[in-house]
Structure 1
Amino acid sequence: MKLIDLGEFGLIARLREAIEESRNPELESWQRLLIGTGDDCAAWRGDPRVQIATTDTLVQGVHFLEGTFTWEELGHKSMAANLSDIAAMGGAALYALVSFSLRADTDVADVLSLFRGMIEEGTRYGVAIEGGNLTTAPILVITIALLGNAGNGMLLRSAARPGDSVAVTGYLGASGAAVAVFKQELDVDHTTKELLRQSHFRPTPRIAEGQEMVRLGVKAAVDISDGLISDLTRICEASQVGARIDAALVPINPALHESVGAKSLEYALAGGEDFELLFTAPAVVVQRVRAALGIPVTVIGEIVAEHPGKVIVRGSTGGIPGTTGWDHFQK
């Protein structure tokens, strides 16, 4: 069945059914929700904690290419991108508003698979979808607004200080390399291609890790969405500091490095959408974070007072192509 057969209100009814099936009274988000779908606004009981909000849009042909994904994977990816912003603040996610722009000839089953992926990803981190919007468009556009709260402190881009170590969770480069594979700009074997693809469409938002960083005394962080260099530059600009990193220390996805060798550094530095946490803190704090998280945490450089707003990459020869990272309005 196509959307043109079911209609807008028929689809809304199906989506509301999916939301109700996901209702979990054990989650704080559901306990505080007063009015969900079916009215002009959602409503929930507030609390004294700091409230935080983020929004992100995925556009067909810009963020994903037709034929490279399952609809459920796309649902996971779109929710994870927003969750990663919450993680970068050290917060907890509660509610999501989801908007779809869809072609009228889209299969209803595909839209429901997309929505189920969102619900599954959100539920894993305590999120209740409480409403949204539908409209027709010539291409698929997905927008999610995510609401949450922060406890005793937040991770900020503006809190880096000279002398801080620069560190990153996990491994980098796989998601950016996956896009290159999709565009036939990079050739890898089937096994590596599938690993890269999974990294791109099923990233792990570092929600718990961000909260633990706050507890352990980290002050500055950002999630790697536009690329390591680009996102570290955002920290440097906001904090009015500079950064020096060592290219040899950047933790590259092992499968990617084994497959394409030195070229993998380009994807690790500028590929984007790894959704790992890039943070700065005194060395002793980084040591505590590394001991507590149970995932790889790698120191790649330091924050300096010189060259405010700039990132210097040591150990790279011939320059790093595209180190400005992703910019929607520049090539």
Structure 2
Amino acid sequence: MRPDAPQNADTVAGVGEFGLIRRVTQGRIQPPSTLLGPGDDAAVVAAPDGRVVATTDVLVEGVHFRLDWSTPEQVGRKAVAVNMADIAAMGATPTALLVGLGCPADTPATLVDELSAGMWQEAAVAGAGVVGGDMVTCETLVISITALGSLNGAAPVTRAGAQVGDVVAVCGRLGWAAAGLAVLGRGFRSPVAVVGAQRVPEPPYAAGPQAAAAGATAMVDVSDGLLADLGHIAVASGIGIDLRTDLLEVHPRLQDVASALGADPRHWVLTGGEDHALAATFPDPRGVPEGWRTIGTVRHGSGVTVDGIAYEKPAGWEHWR
């Protein structure tokens, strides 16, 4: 039994698979793109564009989240957000989500209720629906989300289109989730703003289609760290990228937290993942959309440099490294 579970709580085993499915799906409002939602062998989602953008992520307790750091509702929101950010990074709009859940038999059913509530809440932010999924017995809590999206007639913005001379810009927070992780790792629960950024990211979903409409040549979701994810654009496009520290915003709150912890806030901004900001390249600095911040340029060569110099520390998160 989970140590924090009330002894008299209904468990997922007691409620049963189909009872649990009913608990988390009944009474939910679906967007118009959901033609057939949960309850059949498969869902039916409208795709008037004729193409579907698809992505998936797996979140494992103890690796991607901790229930002593986050509420189940916050975990549910985060699981959905990290997937819909990938859809936005293609220049698309999220439309539907498929949820896979694995958990021990003694998991309180209320925990799954709260997870589900967070998922529906975050999906609604982007106008997407939770249309189906699967539930299985598992030794630890595992959440797998598949997100679908629509390009609405536009071309996808991939990582492979950056050209020498483009400017590099970002939209969304950088370094906040990393600062929150550092705070939580020290056993603290405040400042609330940075801890909240680690618990629930706030991807700028609308900024993806906005960047595509503005002529973005390449785009990526900043999930593993700005340097690491821009490195994916550099490799895919066959170019180099140089960032300028005088253009990188380091919020005063991050500076305060870093000072208290003896850390470097710029390192959080450059390498901290899980904020799920969007980074893109644009051919003309005058065409960078409102809300985006120019932070560098695309150059000849390879890799990502900072003020023309290779960054000596790890560029971001990588599993098994």
TM-score by length of 2: 0.90
Report the Cα offset of residue 284 of structure 1: 3.2
Q: 2:185 aligns with which of 159, 183, 186?
A: 183
| 1:116 and 2:117 matched | yes
What is the SS of the residue equivalent to 2:264? Answer: helix
Conserved 8 A contact 1:28-1:126:
no
- Give the match for residue 281 of structure 2: 280
Conserved 8 A contact 1:88-1:222:
yes
Conserved 8 A contact 2:176-2:198:
yes
Aligned residues: 308
Q: Write the distance in 2 (CA, Å) between the matches of 1:65 and 1:52.
A: 30
| 1:28 and 2:32 matched | yes
- Give the match for residue 11 of structure 2: 2
Which has more helix, going by share of residues? Answer: 1
Conserved 8 A contact 1:167-1:279:
yes
What is the SS of the residue equivalent to 1:50? Answer: coil
Please show how residues 172-321 of structure 1 align to structure 2 within 5 Å: 172-184=174-186, 191-192=190-191, 194-261=192-259, 263-287=264-288, 289-290=289-290, 295=291, 297-306=292-301, 308=302, 310-314=303-307, 320-321=312-313
Conserved 8 A contact 2:101-2:134:
yes
Q: Write the distance in 2 (CA, Å) between the matches of 1:252 and 1:102.
A: 39
What is the SS of the residue equivalent to 1:28? Answer: coil
Give the residue type in structure 2 aligned to 1:329. Answer: W
Q: Write the distance in 2 (CA, Å) between the matches of 1:150 and 1:29.
A: 13
Report the Cα offset of residue 48 of structure 1: 3.3
What is the SS of the residue equivalent to 1:157? Answer: coil
Q: Write the distance in 1 (CA, Å) between the matches of 2:56 and 2:215.
A: 27
Report the Cα offset of residue 199 of structure 1: 1.1
Give the residue type in structure 1 aligned to 2:296. Answer: G
Give the residue type in structure 2 aligned to 1:28. Answer: P
Q: 1:153 aligns with which of 152, 155, 163?
A: 155
| 1:171 and 2:173 matched | yes
Report the Cα offset of residue 316 of structure 1: 7.6
What is the SS of the residue equivalent to 1:159? Answer: coil
- Give the match for residue 322 of structure 1: 314
What is the SS of the residue equivalent to 1:279? Answer: strand
Q: Which moved more, 1:158-167 or 1:251-260?
A: 251-260
Structure 1 unaligned regions, length at least 5: none
Q: Which string of whole-angstrom CA distances, capped at 9 and with x for unpartnered residues, describes residues 243-273 of structure 1?
A: 1112332222431122214611111111101
C-alpha distance 218-200 of structure 1, shift in aligned 2 (>3 A): same
Give the residue type in structure 2 aligned to 1:105. Answer: D
Report the Cα offset of residue 191 of structure 1: 4.2
Conserved 8 A contact 1:167-1:286:
no
Conserved 8 A contact 1:266-1:320:
no
Report the Cα offset of residue 126 of structure 1: 1.3
Please show how residues 5-154 of structure 1 align to structure 2 within 5 Å: 5-17=14-26, 21-24=27-30, 27-30=31-34, 33=35, 35-151=36-152, 152-154=154-156
Taking every aligned residue pair, what percent have the same amino acid on both sides? Answer: 35
Q: Write the distance in 2 (CA, Å) between the matches of 1:249 and 1:109.
A: 46
Give the residue type in structure 2 aligned to 1:16. Answer: T
Q: Write the distance in 1 (CA, Å) between the matches of 2:172 and 2:46.
A: 36
C-alpha distance 13-22 of structure 1, shift in aligned 2 (>3 A): closer
Structure 2 unaligned regions, length at least 5: 1-9
Report the Cα offset of residue 136 of structure 1: 1.2
- RMSD (Å) for aligned C-alpha atoms: 2.0
Q: Write the distance in 2 (CA, Å) between the matches of 1:60 and 1:53.
A: 24
